[in-house]
Amino acid sequence: MTRPHQTCASAPLPASLAEIADHAGREAALAIALEHGGRSWRVPARDQSPEGQALIALLGHAPAQALMQGCGGHVLEVPLARRAVVLWLTGRGLGTGEIARALRIATGTVRRYRREARAR
């Protein structure tokens, strides 16, 4: 059986997600990948804007504030980062089917990503 916490920590983050993690933490970066992956995303500059409020709802107040302070107004290319997100969601206790549906990938892909992470 995999140890999700160790597996999650070992998955490298692409550069733009690493930048988010530097400001707001790894959990925040992965939540943003899940929500905005595969497209350009402008980091809200103000917490009072609708976009800022949505970011606070997604990440929580402190991580959202840290990200807005460090990157507010910047446009980031947010990658899908499927491997890292699969391992993160596994660590949060989601099942194979739940993860596959959330990412719109096959359950076999979820299992393969987990298997490959364990082999490292």
Q: What angle do CA 9, 15, 21 make, to 5 degrees?
A: 50
The pair of structure tokens assigned to 43 is 């980091």
pLDDT one-digit tens code per residue, 81-108: 999 999 999 999 999 999 999 999 999 9
Q: Give the list of residues 6+ apart from residue 39 with CB closer than 8 angstroms, or none.
A: 77, 78
Q: 75 in helix, strand or coil? A: strand
Stronger pLDDT, 8 or 70, i.e. the higher one? 70
pLDDT one-digit tens code per residue, 12-68: 899 999 999 999 999 999 999 999 999 999 999 999 999 999 999 999 999 999 999
Considering the entire predicted model, what is its pTM? 0.87
Q: Say how far apart CA 51 and CA 31 lie, in whole Å.
A: 15
